[in-house]
Amino acid sequence: MVLETQRLILREMIQADFPVLCKILQDDDVMYAYEGVFTNDEVQGWLDRQFERYKEHGFGLWAVVLKETGIMIGQCGLTMQDYKSKKVMEVGYLFQKEYWHRGYASEAAIACKEYAFDKLNVKEVYSIIRDTNIPSQKVAIRNGMTCIDKFIKHYRGVDMPHFLFSVNKIL
């Protein structure tokens, strides 16, 4: 286990999480901000990328497990992302649709931010969010973030306007 909140456990993903990951990354509604659903190979690539991140950095997107049931309901964690010419630490989150609107994403995102500040000693964390993705922007705001920039991100062959949200550690 990496992190614990009131209702959730965050832990590293394992290969056995592949079917749940498919449920998330192959759902049209979850993936609209990513220009469509992933193939099985793309899901495996996504999972492998997290394994590499755990090894390289000690963090990545983690599985979010509901304490009450032990079910993996989503992913949330920290990744290094490109912003202009630098790398920034992003708090990212994607949840199964049936677990939206219960505050789980915000609870997990706040815990990840605190982990970055307290355990990794990072001074500022970011969330990079497509301009049309209002639910994700609301999570960022609940995570104490404000929008500090707008830029174009090239992803899956499409130019997408994105907002850069950020929050600083209070020293």
CA–CA dist 116, 165 (Å, integer): 15
Instruction: Pick the closer one to ligand COA by CB: 106 or 171.
Output: 106
Task: Give me the least distance between CB of 6 and ligand COA, in Å please.
Answer: 10
Q: Which residues pair with 56 in a beta bridge?
A: none
Task: Give me the least distance between CB of 171 and ligand COA, in Å please.
Answer: 27
Residue-wise DSSP of 111-141 = HHHHHHHHTS--SEEEEEEETT-HHHHHHHH
Contact pick of 44, 106, 114, 153 for ligand COA (by CB under 6 A) = 106
What backbone torsions phi and psi does residue 75 show, to the nearest 5 degrees?
-130, 145
The yes or no reply on residue 95 touching ligand COA (CB under 6 A) is yes
Burial (0-12, 13-18, 19+ Cβ within 10 Å), 40: exposed
Of the candidates 163, 154, 169, 80, the residue with the CA atom closest to the CA atom of residue 117 = 169
Contact 53, 76 (CB under 8 A): no
The yes or no reply on residue 73 touching ligand COA (CB under 6 A) is no
The yes or no reply on residue 91 touching ligand COA (CB under 6 A) is no
The yes or no reply on residue 45 touching ligand COA (CB under 6 A) is no
- In the bound state, the residue with its beta carbon closest to ligand COA is 103
Instruction: Pick the closer one to ligand COA by CB: 37 or 55.
Output: 37
Name residues contacting ligand COA, limited to 23-42 (CB under 6 A). Answer: 30, 33
Q: What residues line the site for ligand COA (CB under 6 A)? A: 30, 33, 93-95, 100-106, 129, 133, 135-136, 138-139
